[in-house]
Amino acid sequence: MSNNGLRLVWVYPDLLSTYGDQGNALVVERRARQRGLDVQRVDVRSDQPVPTSGDIYLIGGGEDRPQRLAAERLRRDGGLSRAASNGAIIFSVCAGYQILGHEFINDLGEREQGLGLLDVVSTRGEGARCVGDVLADIDPHLGLEPLTGFENHQGVTHLGPTARPFARVRLGRGNGTGDGTEGAYNDTVFGTYMHGPVMARNPQIADHLLKLALDVNALPPTDDRWYEALRAERIASATQPA
């Protein structure tokens, strides 16, 4: 993090914010400010260059054609890949998650090259669409509470040897592979299918990104009563009998 404070970059809100994932940027920004951090938020539209000097980059979900356009422009721009090489933290959701992988199936039914920042490959599932609430256990190495979110995707994402599952589902379908995995991550790059927005349901994820950016093991406490009430309500809703 620079001496000027935390630089938070929201990537392509004009293409990749279909399911309210811009709420993730709002939550990270608020939780940083609650800790007294000076936050510079940069919203980068798809006709603008992606800065390479950010600390945390957030990417949301989107429909098939905007996803293809976003992938094309991110490849051509190169800024996000350079930021990753510089050690920036990147958190992606759904279409953004697929873009960070090696390839996915675009709206034309063709293989579309991703950025290769996560060792994953996404295809299109043949069965029913993955839709509904999800409850999952985040990788114990991250030391976070169970994950709650909402999935809505047709994608099936297979993890390669250098990607770790972000979580393992108790309820829901996650990556759609049938092996119980949800999302993927390496040291500083994260991907998930969870909407919600996921940071509002799981503020500990936002805090984890902040700790990585600050290179600290703990943050000052904040008033989490609103978040905890939302978490409890969504977990109860997901686990109650139909």
Give the model confidence (pLDDT) of 213-232 as tens digits.
999 999 999 999 999 999 99
Percent of the chain with pLDDT over 70: 98
Omega before residue 197 within 30° of 0, cis: yes
* Distance from C-alpha of 174 to C-alpha of 155, rounded to nearest angstrom: 10
Say if 212 falls within a structural domain: yes
The one-character DSSP state at 148 is: E
Say if 205 falls within a structural domain: yes
The pLDDT tens digits for 81-114 are: 999 999 999 999 999 999 999 999 999 999 999 9
Give the helix/strand (H/E) hosting 219.
none
Residue 184: domain span:
4-237
The contacts of residue 220 (CB under 8 Å, 6+ apart) are 35, 36
Annotated catalytic residues are: 94, 195
pLDDT (mean) for 166-194: 97
Say if 230 falls within a structural domain: yes
Nearest-5° Cα angle at 178, 158 to 114: 20
User: Is residue 129 a known part of a binding site?
Assistant: yes
Domain at 133, CATH number: 3.40.50.880
Say if 36 falls within a structural domain: yes
> Considering its fold, how many domains does the chain have in total?
1
**127 falls in which pLDDT band (50, 70, 90)?**
confident
Q: Residue 4: what pLDDT?
A: 55
**11 falls in which pLDDT band (50, 70, 90)?**
very high
Strands (E), 130-210: 130-138, 147-153, 155-159, 167-171, 181-182, 184-185, 189-192
Say if 242 falls within a structural domain: no
* Pairing verdict, β 39-44 and 6-11: parallel
Nearest to 196 by CA among 93, 70, 67, 65: 93
